[in-house]
Amino acid sequence: MQKSPQILPALKKSLRFVIVGSMNTFVAAIMLPIIYQAGLGLNLSFMISTLFTISFSFSTHRVLTFRSKAKVLAEYRRFFFNALFCSVFSYALLRFSFYIDLFEKNILYINVLVTGITAVISYLVHTLKTFRQNL
């Protein structure tokens, strides 16, 4: 039985998304604790790590995952607003985790959990909206 010619490119893109997304998730998961340990406080550490990881993630997904040739600013705007939503959502989860003393306030464990949850949301939105070819 022969596979449809469209299945192979879709599988390759999905695999690239998982690999690049894993790399981006790892970078996001370690950035906050690194900056936080520098003594900048949770709010400033979160803002700095968020701005860095949004741009890093956009660049890697645009070039490596989706190989997009669309207008950079239009894609970045869609990507940024999705990432901003995910960041606000993850910040709320982070603050709530501290409030209920989840993982005895271990920032690394909490951030890995929060990053995992927001990665799933981000995947869905970027696949369905941000890098969709016929917007």
Q: Mind listing the pLDDT tens digit for each residue in 87-117?
A: 788 888 877 777 667 666 677 777 777 777 8
Distance CA 106, CA 110 (A): 6
Question: pLDDT (tens digit, 9 = 90+) per residue, 6-28?
Answer: 778 778 877 888 899 889 888 98
User: Distances from the Cα of 80 to the Cαs of 34, 49, 58, 128, in angstroms?
Assistant: 23, 14, 8, 15
For 53, the enclosing helix (H) or strand (E) is: helix 42-60
Q: Give residue limits of the domains in the chain.
A: 7-130
The pLDDT, as a whole number, for residue 77 is 92
Q: pLDDT class for 56, splitting at 50, 70, 90? A: very high
Region 17-45: mean pLDDT is 90
Q: How far apart are the first and last CA of the chain?
A: 34
- Report yes or no: 129 and 85 within 8 Å, Cβ to Cβ: no
The pLDDT, as a whole number, for residue 45 is 93
Distance CA 57, CA 40 (A): 23
